[in-house]
Amino acid sequence: MKQFIFLPLSIFIFFQAQSQKVYSVDYSSQADVKVYVVDYESQADLKVYKEDYSSQAGKNDGHWYFVDYSSQADKKIYFVDYSSQADLKIYFVDYKSQAGWKNSSKKQLMY
């Protein structure tokens, strides 16, 4: 009987741990990653899809959920004004299937 309780609980914990929750901070000194939003997909390191629910976000695959409080976030980001200031360049996409890394060498920034 304990196995039947443990399995669903394990699955729930696994999926909770997989979410990529981000929080946009007010100052660059508070950020884990400085982000610049590019105008064209070809300029991006990461194509990002904004999820409506935290349960839909992926760990490091471009599916982001913006949380209301910094304590809820996996990563704190700061949106910079110039691409030269950025650690990561992103492009917001309209469809989930479009999200993902274009420059895999930057993946470690979001772990």
pLDDT digits (tens, 9 = 90+) for 61-107: 999 999 999 999 999 999 999 999 999 999 999 999 999 999 999 99
Q: What distances in angstroms separate CA 92 from CA 9, 37, 50, one per listed residue?
A: 34, 8, 8
Pairing label, strands 46-50, 21-24: unpaired
Q: Examine the pLDDT at 28 and tell me if it is beyond 60.
A: yes
Q: Which residue is associated with the tokens 């992103």? A: 90
pLDDT digits (tens, 9 = 90+) for 94-109: 999 999 999 999 999 9
pTM of the predicted model as reported, rounded to 2 decimal places: 0.81
